[in-house]
Amino acid sequence: MSRNMSAAAAAVVAAALLAAAGPASAAGPGTVCKPDLKHLENVTPGAAAEVLGLGAGDLAVGTSDELPVYWQGTRLYRVPLPAGWTEGSVRSVNAKGLMAGTLSRDDRKQVLFTYQKGARSVQILTAPADRAGGTGGIAVNDAGRVAGVTGAVAKEWQDGRLVRELPLPAGAQDETRIDKISGINKRGDIVGSAYRWKEQDGWPNILYRSYPVVWPAGGGPAYALPGVDENNPARETHPAGIDDRGIVASAEVSSWHGTLDAVGYVWQSPYTAAATALPVLPGQEELEIEDLSPTTNRLVGTAMTYLDGGYAKPSQATYQVGRGPVKVLPVPDPLSGARATAVSDDDRVAGTIADAPVIWTCASRQAHLPQN
């Protein structure tokens, strides 16, 4: 699909894909939600913090002042660090309170870990390895299956036991590696991203191809999702996740000489068709999709306008459902930049306002069309 298609046409096509399971409810069945904006505690006031996943009830996980943490309501709890490990983040959490994340230390080595809420220690899954080409990433589903990247090799665990190494898609070219795992759905389908580096004219690390990859539950060949812009050394794919129907959402980001170009796309199982572009937020030029809910068609992200090496206006946290337009989540001060980083089936959205962690509850009743 051409990126130059109208926003209205893109919205129609994207809605048809995302609404395949029917309209989204305002919250989970039988749930009564109250619109609110909750400001979460931070390890150090003013330090960077981010919510990266939402669990059951009012549980949230993420990072604060470069430490792995979780929140119960607005109260912060630190994940215990093993000796020698100084930084980390919790990237994912399931409905039973099992968390998954990464730890790093001063020599830039990294390990993957799981942590059960309330436990005295973490369970380390991997040997120390160099950080992956991208962010690495790790995810856990409600069955306790964990997928992650260690040393640019993707793997899967169950109950702390290594189950399999996730292969590259058939036909992957030399120098292709997995750089990120972004999600695992209820049945065990895993989504990540692959990249191919190649030396050219004596310059190493020229990115030639970046694309999403899906590993189906139970084994079977990996799917290399049809690329958006093949062989473009300025474009990277950042999958946001995979829902329980197999829909993959991704931010496709191009950056070159101080410019930024972020576009949201979705792919629908069985991934034979090209990606469908998502509409942008009116008044902003770019949309970076960050997460999608498991069953309720919700997509969240960050809308921005990047011009001349900087941002022309404050970023905005976005919210959309399969049959609706892209909307914005409210902030107390319209001059504060905001992001949306995670969304749950019970209509909670996590994000940041002026780099401070927040959660919007009953987000569908707060999201609105931009005023300008």
User: Does residue 296 surpass a pLDDT of 90?
Assistant: yes
User: Does residue 4 surpass a pLDDT of 60?
Assistant: no
- pLDDT for position 6: 44
pTM beyond 0.75: yes
User: What is the average pLDDT across 257-278?
Assistant: 90
Residue reference for tokens 């189950």? 163
pLDDT tens-digit map of 28-51: 445 578 999 999 999 999 899 999
pLDDT tens-digit map of 51-66: 999 999 999 999 999 9
pLDDT tens-digit map of 180-198: 999 999 999 999 999 887 6
- pLDDT for position 135: 63
| Cβ proximity of 343 and 293 under 8 Å | yes
- Band of residue 1 on the pLDDT scale cut at 50, 70, 90: very low
Q: Taking the CB of residue 167, how many other CB atoms lie within 10 A of it?
A: 15
- pLDDT for position 134: 56
Tally helices (H) and strands (E) across the chain. Answer: 1, 31
Q: Taking the CB of residue 313, how many other CB atoms lie within 10 A of it?
A: 16
Residue reference for tokens 């292709």? 176
- pLDDT for position 169: 93
**Any residues with CB less than 8 A from the CB of 305 and at least 6 apart, and which?**
284, 285, 286, 311, 312, 313
Q: DSSP per residue over 122-158, as a string?
A: -EE-S--EEPPSS-B-EEE-TT-EEEEEETTEEEEEE
User: What is the average pLDDT across 224-229?
Assistant: 85
